[in-house]
Structure 1
């Protein structure tokens, strides 16, 4: 009986590092992604069918869909998930982006979270399509937050 308590526990395995995939998109795809975030489901499905599953899942992750958040983490898009977490005020995600020299994603996330210095950085250093994307994410995240804080829609996502 005491042998059970004497057994050594297996050391937890460290998570295997996931290779981050590139996220360089033409302006037209970035603007389509902004439209998908604004709520156009046809555009979101178009992105999925045309070979941009990461943008489909990133859009769902912005809408708090846990399966899509997990998909991003498991398929090489942890940097997109870190940007989304930074949008939601998670400082450790922003620190991770900075540590890995992903300044654009860091400032995009912070600008969505209403940090004026990061929005100024975006306007000065990022292309106009990325500023439009950040504003689209900001608008939708603000709507989600408002729904969560409204007694009449408490607990309902968009």
Structure 2
């Protein structure tokens, strides 16, 4: 799905990266979980695709989910989230390590039309749509965090 790598990839002597090869049906469930479908989120969390469920929690700024992704071989997913949040170093890391789909998903979800267009032009329309769902969620989270009428939960 995100790359052609089937084996874990070791980068810079750190935790080996898990392969990102998910069936279309799982990507559909992930997409719905990103859109707020709690049932789909729970399905992911209770399956072998737990990382995709924790990805959703990490989008919601849950530190324990972010830590889990990093410690369990999903630093590339965490880099994508950081890229969505505007971290240019994360975008560069994804690019240097050959995660071009994740890089362009991050760019698209951060509002850059070129990232979305790259996904479409390179036959990753499903990832382009997921990136737009991530963008919508990110914008919603930012709006809620900046709402002066909300009481901080911290």
**Would you say 1:58 and 2:55 are equivalent positions?**
yes
Shift in Å, 1:16: 5.4
SS of residue matched to 1:152:
coil
Shift in Å, 1:131: 1.5
Greater helix share, structure number: 1
Shift in Å, 1:154: 5.9
2:90 corresponds in structure 1 to 93
Whole-Å separation in 1 of the counterparts to 2:151 and 2:26: 34
Unaligned residue ranges in structure 1 (runs of 5+): 1-14
Contact persistence 2:104–2:116 (CA under 8 A): yes
Contact persistence 1:147–1:154 (CA under 8 A): no
Whole-Å separation in 2 of the counterparts to 1:155 and 1:121: 38
Report runs of 4+ in structure 1 exceeding 2 Å deviation. 153-157
2:114 corresponds in structure 1 to 117
TM, length-normalised to structure 2: 0.87
2:75 corresponds in structure 1 to 78
Contact persistence 1:48–1:56 (CA under 8 A): yes
SS of residue matched to 2:102:
helix
Larger Rg: 1
Whole-Å separation in 2 of the counterparts to 1:79 and 1:101: 10
Unaligned residue ranges in structure 2 (runs of 5+): 1-11
Whole-Å separation in 1 of the counterparts to 2:108 and 2:91: 12
What are the Cα deviations for residues 12-57 of structure 1, in whole angstroms up to 9, with x where unaligned? xxx9511000011111111110110111111111112221110111
Contact persistence 2:83–2:90 (CA under 8 A): yes
CA, structure 1 residues 65+126, in 2 after alignment: closer, same or farther (shift >3 Å)?
farther
Whole-Å separation in 2 of the counterparts to 1:47 and 1:17: 26
Larger relative contact order (C-alpha < 8 A, sep ≥ 6)? 1
TM, length-normalised to structure 1: 0.85
1:9-158 pair list within 5 angstroms:
17-153=14-150, 155=152
How many pairs were matched up? 143
